[in-house]
């Protein structure tokens, strides 16, 4: 069986921390007399395209994207293990030189392309790192359809025996 995912641990940021980070950057740019209008737009645009989901936010998003309720604990565990709930994570390189993308850490060797939509999910890898998780969800469901949860390393190592409690999320 192939490894389509890769365990990734990231530093979890919040919207408040991002806003503070941008303000700090603006202050530093003033110190060095840099053009705020031109330079900060790129930084804030990049920051705005990522999301860090809490466990319950993740449950709600998965339900909205049609994931079966009996599988939610498995999907939440997989996502927390692979990307810590972040949509912008790029993991790798893997031993074969490939990289894993987004919330579900979907591998670019098998499932996505960089220059135009393609491979198993017929999607751009950058689309898998969007705050809109529709394409990433569709691709993850296709991977699951073909290989089950075993396709993801984090699920095999962290979730097979112990799933997170999501009952406090009101589902």
The catalytic site residues sit at 82, 100
SS (H, E, C) the chain: CCCCCCCCCCCCCCHHHHHHHHHHHHHHHHHCCCCHHHHHHHHHHHHHCCCECCHHHHHHHHHHCCCCHHHHHHHHHHHHHHHCCECCCEECCCCCCCCEECCCCEECCCCCECCCCEHHHCEEHHHHHCCCCHHHHHHHHHHHHHHCHHHCHHHHHHHCCCCCCCHHHCC
């Amino acid at each position: 069986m192939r490894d389509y995912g890769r365990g990734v641990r990231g530093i979890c940021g919040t919207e408040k921390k991002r806003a503070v980070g941008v303000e700090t950057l603006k202050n530093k740019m003033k110190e060095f007399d840099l053009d705020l209008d031109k330079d900060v737009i790129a930084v804030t645009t990049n920051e705005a395209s990522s999301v860090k989901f809490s466990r319950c936010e993740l449950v709600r998003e998965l339900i909205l994207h049609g994931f079966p309720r009996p599988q939610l604990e498995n999907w939440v565990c997989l996502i927390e293990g692979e990307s810590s709930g972040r949509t912008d994570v790029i993991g790798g390189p893997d031993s074969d030189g490939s990289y894993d993308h987004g919330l579900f850490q979907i591998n670019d060797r098998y499932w996505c392309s960089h220059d135009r939509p393609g491979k198993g999910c017929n999607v751009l890898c950058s689309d898998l790192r969007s705050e809109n998780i529709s394409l990433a969800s569709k691709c993850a469901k296709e991977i699951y359809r073909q290989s089950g949860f075993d396709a993801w390393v984090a699920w095999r190592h962290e979730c097979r025996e112990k799933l997170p409690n999501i009952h406090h999320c009101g589902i």
